[in-house]
Structure 1
Amino acid sequence: MEKKKLSERDICTKYITPAILEAGWQQTQFREEVKLTDGRVMVRGKLAARIKNPDAKGGPKRADYVLYARPNVPIAIIEAKQNKFPVGQGMQQALSYAEMLDVPFSISSNGDGFLIHDRTGLTDPTERELSLEEFPRLDQLWPLYLQWKGLTTEDSIKLIEQPYYSDGTGMAPRYYQRVAINRTIEAIANGQDRILLVMATGTGKTYTAFQIIWRLWKAKKKKRILFLADRNILVDQTMQQDFSPFGEVMHKITNRQVKKNYEIYLCLYQAVTGKEEWKKIYRQFPEDFFDLVVIDECHRGSADEDSAWHEVLDYFKSATHLGLTATPRETKDVSNSRYFGDPIYTYSLKQGIQDGFLAPYKVIRIVSDKDAAGYTPEKGKVDKTGSEIPQREYNTKDFDRNMVLEKRTRFVARKVWEYLSQIDPYAKTIIFCEDQEHAERMRQELVKLIPEAASNRKYVMRITGDDTEGKAQLSYFIDNDEKFPVIATTSKLLTTGVDAKTCKLIVLDQNIFSMTEFKQILGRGTRLREDYNKLYFTIMDFKGATRLFADPDFDGEPVVIYEPKEDDPIVPPEDLATDETKDLGEPEPSPYDLERLEKEDDEPRQGRSKYYVDDVEVNDGVVQTRYLDADGKLITEDLRDYSRRKLKEEFGSLKDFLKRWNETDRKQKILQELEDQGIPIDLIKEAVPKSDDFDVFDLVAHIAFDQKPLTRQERADKVKKRNYFGKYGDQARAVLESLLDKYADHGIADIEDPKILELPPFDQYGTKTQIRRGIFGGPEKFTQALSELEQVLYQDESA
């Protein structure tokens, strides 16, 4: 058979594998078709599905070959391509995978030979071509690897060769967990004594820590290990799940009792220290008793030099300190890097979502009229207890902290139930409130609204540090065999440590001033449970936290940001495309011992009065804009009037606007011009009810020039009725019809984006280049077809 007609798999079987074996590699030292990622979850309305096509953007990533110097030490990546391509065709892909796996050697082959890239910088040139007979041997690569990693002693080499724990089921660390584990082992082998790992919530920090400890313990590098956490639930969960293989050598420090005949110790900070001297039982251990101290959730104060917890780390200063956190950013409250140094590895929420290991999320922002404009009581007004209220403006930061508008609580509860009743009344939900008293008021309002909650006391539960009955329901809330509780109202108790994998809705009615706390709350929803149809989650934000703490570099962007206006549905419009609703299952049972629960910031606030007002109406926010006029005076103006005035300043007349719109090749230019003139598209949308249904063309024409708007779907339907696609071939027609559907769903900017052709459903027609050249005859002809489609979309109805 002609070599250039062979498939990629044939090239691997007939040429690459024999070359690897001829170079002395054993079958056990390389694997083929190694899955690296699962493929991103795409969300369209209520429907969500994983991208399974490896050739599609966001699809699962698989390396053709991974070569291992030791069972747990990958050393090289090989990407194979058909022989019709040059030998280096797969190099960029190989380099990408090599970076993901933290390996130094990237190799590309088409069956004629190899192109090898050496990231160590120890060979010259960095890239060179080799014949099939010159494939590198392990004894040529291994010394370069060790030098690259700085591993020069026999003990350090022996340490990194120590295998992972295996339970025989085939479960193995994911690629990023391997990198985190290996880098930590290498850092310890090189004598580093303070180490920081940053891994987003839901990515398996504790499992990663277990594998690190296991290898160090088995290699006898670290003989006694202390695992510190700040919540009892975290310690118990760790012992019962990830750390269970340690068995009888593992011990939890409780009841202020010190036992010195174990090797793996777990405890709360609070169990070994405190303000009183008698509580500092850690001093009963010799200072050099522990070789390794692992600090879970280390952002929660362990690295703060003023914290009592810091005393524990300072006392065991001869041990290696390994910090685990999901909070990467330095703030005045978080000082991870000041204590540990820069992280040796970071795996972000954004990357986890892109890889398909974590759930993407939507954001629904809701503003009441009192949050939008504030509330100022009239002079002499008393609250429901008879206390006179100080006259000043109360705003979002005050509500439920020192000013309780009871009808605002009812407003929030109504919006939450409105959403759940349309999406899934049994979707697990956590509502974060200002304090325990607020959580109780929220529970009461929900019970009044939800029919089943009136007869089933467990439908809505307050789970806070001061409520024994509520705390008893926590394990049921996260148990996959338990349908109830459905909704948990809380303040601080559920911000961390609660592994509610099927939580679908997180409600923020709490002022959040800490990036750390925000990320921990966000983490309650990031777990993916595909087997229970938990593929994404929603954040419903009543206090603007999602604006204040956006960290796109680490957290990525929501798949949807929806800001309903007065009389708008609470559910984003695309979510109403189907009435399919599926009951959700729950994660594996976790019978936690809740003997102690964190009370920090969960105690009733002392020294501050709360005023309770029950006669002030709270409704959807009045849509207004505020700006400074030429004299520097703050002006509040109806948003529609403001938008009309600004648009007329920009376009003059309807005729001028139509001319500009039709003559502009890319409508995105006009959107950018509006943005530059202080009229962003989001502002225009806010001025029109249900604006998400309309194209920006119709919004501008309607607001500025009183033209009747057409929805995007109506414009798309008119194009279809004109039989515009009849002049194209089958494939070209299919592509244009799909573009029209994309326009109807998302608008003109999306179909003008060149990347649109890389997404479903266009990937079924080939690559972007194949579509433009193969189906339309070249980029210019595709651009012309798209331009003609736009002309028909915006064709004058009188024409």
Structure 2
Amino acid sequence: MNIGISHELSEEDVKFRYINDAITSKGWTKDSIFMEQQVKFTDGKISLHGNIVHREKPKFADYVLYVNKATPIAIIEAKDTKHTVSYGLQQAMEYAKMLDVKFAFSSNGEGFAEHDFLTGQERCFGMDEFPTREELIERYKKGINEGNGLNEQEEAVINQPLCSGQNIFPPRYYQLNAINRTINAIAKGQNRILLVMATGTGKTYTAFQIVWRLLKSGLKKKVLYLADRNILVDQSIEQDFKPLEKVIHKIDYSKDKDKLKELLSHQVYFALYQQLIGQSDAKNYQELFPNPDYFDLVIIDECHRGSAKDDSNWRTILDYFSSATHIGMTATPKETRYQSSIGYFGEPVYTYSLKNGIEDGFLAPFKVINITTNIGDEWRPIKGQKDIYGNEIEDRIYNNSDYDYNIVIEDRHREIAQEITNYLKSTDRMAKTIVFCADETHAERMRIALVNANADMCKKNPDYIVRITGSDEYGKGKLDYFISVASKYPVIATTSKLLSTGVDCKMVKLIVLDQQIGSMTEFKQIIGRGTRIREKEGKTHFVVMDFRNVTRLFADPDWDGPIEVDPDYPPKPCPVCGKYPCICPKTTTSSACPVCGKDPCECPTPPPQPKPIVDKNGCEVKVINKVVSVYDTNGKLLRTESITDYTKKSIIDTYATIETFTSKWNALKRKSEITEMLKEVGIDITTLKHDRNMDDVDDFDFI
């Protein structure tokens, strides 16, 4: 112990006078020590107050000790001499749990306190007794895996560094956790692995670093990366996997089937499921790779979308390459009788949720504007009312669940388009916007309504508004431009499903919900379209504009909570054959059509009845209420605010009476001081005045 240490030393003094010497004298070199300035491991949560955005303080660790840059091993928290030796230990333990390290220390310069996560024990010791680098690494290696230590493969992986370089960012703490958890599980022999990481947290980059370390350490030699959308494959190859471009091949069955020898010369293969399955379940994968043991690692991107579904064609690919290690990656694991991530891969080895990402400041927070129309809850046609085709409209009550699904109200499209336009005019007309619609036809109607509401912008560039859907070749051709940070146009995209998952829309600032969404998985995926942060380009948060009360799902306990589990999963085997799915022979009883006598029926199908369309004369739509809501990271309602009411309340809380405010106003040398003070509580007077067309009104009179 340092007897007689000064009791007036600051935390910085303690670090530089005592702790630095204590750890460097034990063999901890500069390469294995990262001090506070280098160890900011969160960015600080972005908070929304009124129309002001600010970042909270990020989390820093005083010291992080590493085995190497891929493997952190200990946290040290320093405190000034007014505190006890162990005062900072709980903070060190909190950070240690976040960074997935096994040893936490605190010190006030008189000694060290230690918590060992491998044994659960704590102790205090002198400044000259800090463990040497070799001692602590040895304790880690012996104590890991419930005291069974590391096997040869784990040793090889631990010693394998991350991929680094000029254009490669070091992993964030949670990415490093996911990388290490995954490769350690593989090294221990686990062959089915699930990684759950929220949209926008870098799943593909994480997958790249996993592949890099496994290839370089020799644990894996041939890798197959599966996805269900071309854009996912191309983005991965061109961006995160760029350092491996010399050993990467994108599978194209039409070309590769005639060059099988050349095909087998690569290390990392990217493929769409469709390319490997082929037409009519041709099983192209067997022709391209006749040896089912060819791959020793298969990565399944967005595995919640059905790759692990028991009766899926995609599952046949996984079954064929069953000897390989399978890593499933998803933002929203799903566990139902129809889809099973957990049932196939097992419990996640690591989870980093949307809540975690927003709390840490890596994902953008959001506000919700709930907009109610006069027909949202109910509209009933008058007796004998006809649609534009001259057909009588069924007499019943219609509501948000019907519009654009069972009946089309033309004026509703106009009113919604006008609300979107008004919002963009009051904020930023070049803010990237996605409008989620009921179906592709609805997406086209909304495109037309938005064009008419934004004719001035479409005159400048007709691609200001574009429909981007699965069947729209022109729109799909504009997708890369829409998601590009550098490209201004398109600005507004109307869609139904195409943009709901897997597309990296970094600059989206407004998400409009005008479709019914019952699935929590789909809801999370759609919200995830807005969570990327691009501060340099002005993207710090986003807004959800809800016309269907979809955001009621925030109140669901499953919002960013436990994995969705269907009580009927896993499915029960057939009571006859004992298998799932059932393999009983099909009965041969005839089910011929009683009209045409054929099985299957060959009767001509009558054309479908068009949805009733009601024009403005038949139903006029108006917005009757708007509520701005701010949610916390649990999806719990923090507050509901009318901007005017929020401003009034904040001013009254600060200045209780008009006399108090007037006295303060008159005493100020600069009137701008009031507006600066109000900004601190989330009120931007300039913006509020502009929103109400009161730019010329004096600040005092406005307040």
TM-score range, shorter chain: 0.7 to 0.9
Match for residue 614 of structure 2? 613
2:645 — aligned with what?
A: 693
**Secondary structure at the counterpart of residue 63 of structure 1:** coil
What is the Cα deviation at residue 447 of structure 1? Answer: 1.2
- Which deviations, in whole Å up to 9, do the C-alpha atoms of 1:201-253 show, x marking residues without a partner? 10000000000001001111110000001100000000001111112211001
Separation (CA, whole Å) in 2 of partners of 1:151 and 1:169: 36
Distance of aligned partners of 1:263 and 1:24 in 2 relative to their CA distance in 1, 3 Å threshold: same
Q: Is the 8 A contact 1:452 1:459 kept in 2?
A: no
Alignment map for 1:378-777 (pairs within 5 Å): 378-455=382-459, 456-548=461-553, 550=555, 555=560, 609-614=610-615, 615-621=618-624, 693=645, 713=651, 717-719=655-657, 721-722=659-660
Match of 2:316 in 1: 311
Measure the CA separation in 2 of the matches of 1:551 and 1:252. Answer: 41
Moved more, 475-484 or 142-151: 142-151
CA contact 1:81–1:89 (8 Å) conserved in 2: yes
Q: Deviation of residue 182 (structure 1)? A: 0.2
1:202 maps to a residue whose letter is G
> Which is richer in helix?
1
The alpha-carbon deviation at position 520 of structure 1 amounts to: 1.5
The alpha-carbon deviation at position 198 of structure 1 amounts to 0.6
* Contact 2:193/2:345, CA 8 A, preserved across alignment: yes
Question: In the aligned structure 2, how far is the partner of 1:681 from the partner of 1:320?
Answer: 43
- The residue aligned with 1:135 is 130
Structure 2 distance, partners of 1:69, 1:506, is 44
Q: CA deviation at 1:744?
A: 10
Counterpart amino acid of residue 481 in structure 2: Y
SS at match of 1:610: coil
**Does the Cα contact within 8 Å between 1:67 and 1:76 map onto a contact in 2?**
yes
Task: Give the Å deviation of 1:307.
Answer: 1.2
- Show structure 1 runs of 5+ residues with no match: 52-58, 557-605, 624-679, 696-709, 727-736, 747-799
The aligned counterpart of 1:223 is 221
Q: CA deviation at 1:375?
A: 2.2
User: Structure 1 residues 90 and 711, CA, compared in 2 at 3 Å: closer, same or farther?
Assistant: closer
- Distance across 2 between alignment mates of 1:608 and 1:92: 67
Distance 1:170 1:502, change over 3 A: closer
**Corresponding residue number in structure 1 for 2:144:** 148
* Whole-Å separation in 2 of the counterparts to 1:424 and 1:178: 37
Residue 47 of structure 1, CA deviation? 2.9
* TM-score between the two structures when normalised by the length of structure 1: 0.71
Change (3 A) 1:439 1:741: closer
Tell me the residue number matched to 1:241: 239
Taking the aligned partners of 1:681 and 1:192, their CA distance within structure 2 comes to: 42
Q: Is the 8 A contact 2:52 2:679 kept in 1?
A: no
How far did residue 719 of structure 1 move? 3.1
Tell me the residue number matched to 1:13: 16
The answer to whether 1:37 aligns with 2:42 is: yes
What is the SS of the residue equivalent to 1:207?
A: helix
Contact 2:431 2:491 in 1 (8 A): yes
- Tell me the CA shift for residue 83 of structure 1: 1.4
Once the two structures are overlaid, the 10-residue window that deviates more, 38-47 or 404-413, is 38-47
Q: Between the two structures, name the one with larger relative contact order (CA 8 Å, sep ≥ 6).
A: 2
| Of 91, 98, 101, the match for 2:99 | 101
CA distance in 2, matches of 1:245, 1:681: 44
Distance of aligned partners of 1:242 and 1:738 in 2 relative to their CA distance in 1, 3 Å threshold: closer
Following superposition, the deviation at residue 43 of structure 1 comes to 1.9
Q: 1:448 to 1:2 in 2, by over 3 A?
A: same
Residue equivalent to 1:172: 170
Indicate whether 1:82 and 2:93 are aligned. no
Structure 2: unaligned runs, 5 residues or longer: 258-262, 562-606, 627-636, 665-674, 685-703
Post-superposition Cα deviations, 1:466-522, rounded to whole Å, max 9, x if no partner, equal 222222221221223322211111111111232221110000101112222211111
C-alpha deviation, 1:739, in angstroms: 12
What is the match of residue 692 of structure 2? none
Offset of residue 694 of structure 1: 7.5
Alignment CA distance shift 1:215-1:482 (3 Å): same
Q: Which residue, out of 354, 357, 362, partners 2:367?
A: 362
- Percentage of matched positions with identical amino acids: 50
**Counterpart of 1:346 in 2: which secondary structure?**
strand
Give the CA deviation at 1:167: 1.5
The superposition leaves residues 147-199 of structure 1 with CA deviations (integer Å, 9 ceiling, x where unpaired) of 32354322221122211111245721010000000000110011111111111
CA distance in 2, matches of 1:288, 1:130: 53
| Separation in structure 2 between the aligned mates of residue 622 and residue 31 of structure 1, nearest angstrom | 53
Does the Cα contact within 8 Å between 1:350 and 1:554 map onto a contact in 2? no
**Alignment partners' CA distance in 2, 1:469 and 1:280:** 30
CA change 1:46–1:19 in 2 (3 A) is same
Q: Which AA in structure 1 matches 2:195?
A: L
The one-letter code sitting in structure 2 at the alignment partner of 1:148 is I
1:2 positional shift: 6.5
Partner of 1:671: none
- Equivalent residue in structure 2 for 1:182, among 177, 180, 183: 180
3-state DSSP class of the match of 2:125? strand
Letter in 2 for 1:72: A
Query: How far 1:714 moved relative to its partner?
Result: 5.3
CA deviations 1:68-104 (Å, max 9, x no partner) are: 1233111110001111211011111100110011111
State the alpha-carbon separation in 2 of the partners of residues 37 and 743 from structure 1. Answer: 24
Partners of 1:530 and 1:50 in 2: CA distance: 11
Contact 2:304 2:333 in 1 (8 A): no
> Match of 2:363, SS?
coil
String of CA shifts for 1:116-158, please: whole Å, max 9, x gaps. 0011127xxx110010111112333224323323543222211
State how far apart, in whole Å, the 1-side matches of 2:171 and 2:382 are. 62
Secondary structure class of the residue paired with 1:106: strand
Q: Give the drift of 1:279.
A: 4.9
Q: Please give the alpha-carbon distance, in whole angstroms, between the structure 2 residues aligned to 1:138 and 1:2.
A: 26
- TM-score normalised to the size of structure 2? 0.80
Q: Determine the C-alpha separation between the residues in 2 that align with 1:720 and 1:619.
A: 37
* 1:28 is the counterpart of 2:31: yes
- Say whether the 8 Å CA contact 1:370–1:621 is kept in structure 2: no
Cα pair distance change 1:722/1:223, threshold 3 Å:
closer
| Equivalent of residue 344 in structure 1, options 349, 367, 383 | 349
Q: Distance in 2 between matches of 1:75 and 1:109?
A: 17
Name the CA distance, whole Å, in 2 between partners of 1:745 and 1:472: 42
Aligned mates of 1:222, 1:529 — CA distance in 2: 35
- Structure 2 Cα separation of the partners of residues 381 and 724 of structure 1: 60
Q: Is the 8 A contact 2:408 2:614 kept in 1?
A: yes
Alignment RMSD: 3.0
1:274 Cα offset (Å): 4.5
The CA deviation string for residues 356-377 of structure 1, in whole angstroms up to 9 with x for no partner, is 11111111111212112x2222
Deviation at 1:718? 4.5
* Residue-pair matches, total: 601
DSSP 3-state at the match of 1:437: helix
